[in-house]
Every structure is written in structure tokens, then in C-alpha cells.
């Protein structure tokens, strides 16, 4: 479903003829975590490792699982108008945050 054409930063409605910008922000844990273990890792680690993970997840509430996933990988999408995109662009340049393409 398409989101309303409203800038998440200033709240301004962006007309159809104006460009609306999407900004994705991903916060990702740098260190590998139990939730990032691949199927291949599990196969080579064997049944014990698998059981350990299943036990751990079963002992957690849905909220705890969600929080654990958020701690590893969290993505937010913001819609920005032209002016707010310019502000964000200047901030990124000033702090020289390296973004991967």
C-alpha cells in the first residue's frame, strides 16, 4: 500500500508533481549473532547447536524475539520532501557517514 505523500521530517504534504525522497536507515549489529546463523552454519554445527537455538527461542516471549531481532537488524524508511532531503544531505556530507551503495 502506498504511503501518503507526507514528509516524515516536516510533515508537509508533497504534491504529485514534486519529487518525494525515500531514506532507508538500517541499524545492523556488526558482530555475528545467534539470529544471523545461516542454514549452512546450522548443518555444519550439528543437531546440538540447532536444539540450543530452538530451546532459547522457545523460552522467549514473542516480544523478546522481536526485540532480539531488532537488536540485530532494524530498518526504518522515511519519506522526505525536497527541502528536508537537502538538510539530511548536508548532515551526511558534514559527518562523512560512509554508505555502501
Q: Which residues bind Zn ion (CB under 5 A)?
A: 7, 9-10, 12, 81, 84
- Shortest distance, CB of residue 24 to Zn ion, whole angstroms? 17
- Shortest distance, CB of residue 98 to Zn ion, whole angstroms? 25
What is the rounded CA–CA span in Å between residue 41 and residue 36? 10
What is the rounded CA–CA span in Å between residue 52 and residue 69? 17
- Shortest distance, CB of residue 23 to Zn ion, whole angstroms? 11
Closest CA to 81 of 2, 10, 3, 1: 10
Instruction: Specify the residue, 32 or 86, whose C-beta has the smaller distance to Zn ion.
Output: 86
Instruction: Specify the residue, 10 or 92, whose C-beta has the smaller distance to Zn ion.
Output: 10
Helices within 1-101 (DSSP H only): 39-45, 47-58, 62-72, 82-95
- Shortest distance, CB of residue 83 to Zn ion, whole angstroms? 5
Please give the DSSP secondary-structure letter assigned to residue 6: B
Amino acid at each position: 500500500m502506498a504511503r501518503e505523500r507526507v514528509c516524515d521530517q516536516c510533515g508537509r504534504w508533497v504534491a504529485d508533481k514534486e519529487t518525494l525522497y525515500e531514506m532507508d536507515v538500517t541499524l545492523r549489529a556488526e558482530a555475528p549473532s545467534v539470529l544471523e546463523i545461516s542454514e549452512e552454519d546450522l548443518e555444519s554445527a550439528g543437531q546440538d547447536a540447532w536444539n540450543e537455538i530452538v530451546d532459547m527461542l522457545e523460552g522467549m516471549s514473542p516480544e523478546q524475539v522481536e526485540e532480539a531481532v531488532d537488536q540485530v537488524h532494524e530498518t526504518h524508511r522515511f519519506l522526505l520532501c525536497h527541502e528536508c532531503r537537502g538538510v539530511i544531505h548536508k548532515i551526511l556530507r558534514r559527518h562523512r557517514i560512509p554508505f555502501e551503495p
